[in-house]
A and B are shown apart, each in its own frame.
Chain A
Amino acid sequence: GAVVSQHPSWVICKSGTSVKIECRSLDFQATTMFWYRQFPKQSLMLMATSNEGSKATYEQGVEKDKFLINHASLTLSTLTVTSAHPEDSSFYICSAREVLGTDTQYFGPGTRLTVL
């Protein structure tokens, strides 16, 4: 089956630092990847849509200069949280859409970010 990995699975950082999260599709090519954020007991919130080789499309209210997304290949997208603050602490989840087949999105295991 389609597998999506994320690294790291959890990270703790100090306020003001930047954190990079990687999302990889391991056994399929993904033209499009998505980044979500989920706060405790809340729904998934789409942050941005990432297309290979082009700029990401951010949802309303998501600061593109704070959440930098790069999708340099068909199997890798990265999310960098710049100048992180405690309010950025959340569960960040990526998903990847298969290029061929059923348009199904497969989710990575998520990255739990804690900003002190």
Chain B
Amino acid sequence: QKEVEQNSGPLSVPEGAIASLNCTYSDRGSQSFFWYRQYSGKSPELIMSIYSNGDKEDGRFTAQLNKASQYVSLLIRDSQPSDSATYLCAGYSGAGSYQLTFGKGTKLSVIP
């Protein structure tokens, strides 16, 4: 069974610090990974996608993928109170299966 594991948190960081969110996955066939942000009472919003080993940067966000270790992470630099949300890691194999497997999410609190 495909699984995506995340630390549920809550993760608290002070404003301006780097928030590090981690995710591991069990399916070695997984090719595509996504980070979604979900505010309370709202639907998930795509933050980053990553498909290749290494880092991918977009503004204050950096996604990291290590397929050998089956590990995905999201770094948020200069964290802001508005970044406080639940962050969902998701992946799928892409081999004809387009169902995302989600982690349970990590709740991030950025303290002013």
Interface: A67 (CB within 8 A): no
Cβ of B102 to closest chain A Cβ, rounded Å:
6
Give the CA-CA distance A103 to B49 in the complex, in Å.
10
Contact of B104 among A43, A91, A95 (CB under 8 A): A43
Contact of B43 among A49, A103, A110 (CB under 8 A): A110
In the complex, chain B residues whose CB is within 8 Å of the CB of A93: 43-44
Within 8 A of B (CB), among A3-44: 32, 34, 43-44
Interface: A102 (CB within 8 A): yes
Interface size class of A (residues with CB under 8 A): 10 to 19
Give the CA-CA distance A43 to B99 in the complex, in Å.
15
Give the CA-CA distance A34 to B42 in the complex, in Å.
17
Give the CA-CA distance A4 to B15 in the complex, in Å.
32
Contact of B99 among A49, A104, A107, A110 (CB under 8 A): A49
Within 8 A of A (CB), among B66-112: 88, 92, 94, 98-100, 102, 104-105
Q: Which residues of A contact B (CB under 8 A)?
A: 32, 34, 43-44, 46, 49, 91, 93, 95, 97, 102-110
